Amino acid sequence: MSGRAGGLGLRLAARMTPDGWEPPQYARVKPALLGPLAGEVVEIGPGAGVNLRYYGREVRWTGVEPNTVLHERIRRAAAGAGFTARVAAGGAERIDAPDGSVDAVVGTLVLCSVADPDRVLAEVRRVLRPGGRYVFVEHVAAPAATRTRRAQDALTPILRRLPGGCRYNRDTGAAIARAGFASVARDGFDLPLSFGLALPHIAGTAVR
């Protein structure tokens, strides 16, 4: 997107991005994943800063958020959580950090939105120090031939054109598994939707 249409898309996407409430399923898994992180932490696609409440006060946090309409909300969320945030524009395809310099990279509900998840994951690996952690919470494609997967396949061509550009049928677990991390530990949970459907998620940590 470019020009006025792009600006409108970014503003609409920003309006749809939550900064307060989130589903209890997310709130249940995030404290254990994000609370222990320390040192230099980069969060890709932080939205309005919904995760800032889960970090310890001593982290040095940088958000890489291409939607600049959200930057002020991120700074406010950081101030509310008691620390100063550095916010960078641009995408996670190119993180402004030297090789092996970051203790942790965090991404929640981001790999569904990016054009090329393999490229983003390669960049995440590049900036992590050996032993550093990539922490993720992502919704993923349901198993083939299930009702949920049929709905995901039917809706993705439409929904990916809306602000946010989300691909609901992306096999993000497979992308993380093939990204070359030393280890990947993950759990799964479902987020109940309407019509008896439930959106499968993965949450975990990959170690460089």
Ligand X SMILES: C[S@@+](CC[C@H](N)C(=O)[O-])C[C@H]1O[C@@H](n2cnc3c(N)ncnc32)[C@H](O)[C@@H]1O
How near is the Cβ of 179 to ligand X at its closest, in Å? 16
Query: Which position has the token pair 């949450």?
Result: 203
Cβ distance to ligand X smaller for residue 34 or 44: 44
Cβ distance to ligand X smaller for residue 66 or 100: 66
Residue 117 engages ligand X in binding (rule: CB under 6 A): no
Cβ distance to ligand X smaller for residue 18 or 131: 18
Kindly compute the dihedral angle of the four CA atoms of residues 51, 49, 175, 2, in this order, to the nearest 10 degrees: 170
Sites for ligand X among residues 24-63 (CB under 6 A): 44-47, 50
Distance CA 175, CA 159 (A): 21
How many CB atoms neighbour CB 33 within 10 A?
21
Sites for ligand X among residues 128-187 (CB under 6 A): 164
Size of the site for ligand X (CB under 6 A): 20
How near is the Cβ of 16 to ligand X at its closest, in Å? 8
Collapsed DSSP state (helix, strand, coil) of residue 75: helix
Beta-strand ranges (E) seen in 67-192 are 85-88, 102-108, 128-139, 183-192
Collapsed DSSP state (helix, strand, coil) of residue 143: coil
Sites for ligand X among residues 63-102 (CB under 6 A): 64-67, 91-93
Binding site for ligand X (CB under 6 A): 17-18, 44-47, 50, 64-67, 91-93, 108-110, 113-114, 164
